[in-house]
Amino acid sequence: MPRSEIPLDDIDHDLLAVLQRDADQTLGALGEQVGLSPSAVQRRITRLKKHGVIARTVVELAPEATSDLILAVCVVTLDRESNERHERFQQRLLNAPEVQQIYMVSGDWDYVVVFATHGMAHHNEVTGRLLSDAPNVRRYTTLFVLKPVRTGNALPTR
């Protein structure tokens, strides 16, 4: 999917907002919410996917339904600023399915990483391998999630 810039009108914005909350609806139901016929909705969705505005469609699991789920936010600083080191660090994290999110950030820390694991043993194994025993991690701090008040990846579109 290419991702050239395309203009979005009000209806596109409405449609994207709806789809980011619930994409499990028929074109007719979506049409009612944005004031369009099913075929018009279909045309717009096709266009939004084609131009890469809509990156993908996924299901989200209920955190409560995942047994022994431990969510943790780790802030990480690497040893030195070096592109190669950053690349390697990112690649290691990307290869781990327990790494839910990775953000490179500015300021005192280099990265914010969200881990999703099953139980403390699993958490320790994963963060140990990816952070404690990593060659280029200078320091990191773990913030254990007591309650995921809101999750999701919804982006404002205007």
- Which residues in this chain contact a second copy in the complex, by CB under 8 A? 3, 5, 16, 19-24, 51-67, 69, 71, 73, 75, 90, 93-94, 97-107, 109, 111-112, 116-118, 141-158
Please identify, using beta-carbon distances, which residue of 30 and 134 lies nearer to DNA: 30
63 binds, among DNA, a second copy, none (CB under 5 to 8 A by kind): a second copy
Count, residues near DNA per rule CB under 7 A: 15
Query: Taking CB under 7 A as the rule, does residue 40 contact DNA?
Result: yes
With b for 16 or more beta-carbon neighbours within 10 A and e for fewer, the 35-71 pattern comes to: ebeeebbeebbeebeeeebbeeeeeeeeeeeeeebbb
Select 51 or 122, whichever has its Cβ closest to DNA. Answer: 51
Say if residues 111 and 102 touch (Cβ distance below 8 Å). yes
Residues 6+ apart with CB under 8 A from 65: none
Confirm if 134 and 92 have CB atoms less than 8 A apart: yes
Locus of tokens 């990593």:
134
Extract the tokens encoding 25: 């609806």
Residues, the chain, total?
158
CB nearer to DNA: pick between 2 and 107: 2
Tokens of 114: 């969200």
Per CB under 7 A, the segment of 43-51, 67-75, 106-114, 126-134 that binds DNA is: 43-51
Please state, as a whole number, how many other Cβ atoms lie within 10 Å of the Cβ of residue 30.
22
Q: Which of 31-39, 65-73, 82-90, 113-121 is the region at the interface with DNA (rule: CB under 7 A)?
A: 31-39
- With CB under 5 to 8 Å by kind, the binding choice for 139 among DNA, a second copy, none is none
Among a second copy, DNA, none, what does residue 117 contact (CB within 5–8 Å per kind)?
A: a second copy
Binding site for DNA (CB under 7 A): 9, 11, 26-28, 31, 36-40, 42-44, 46
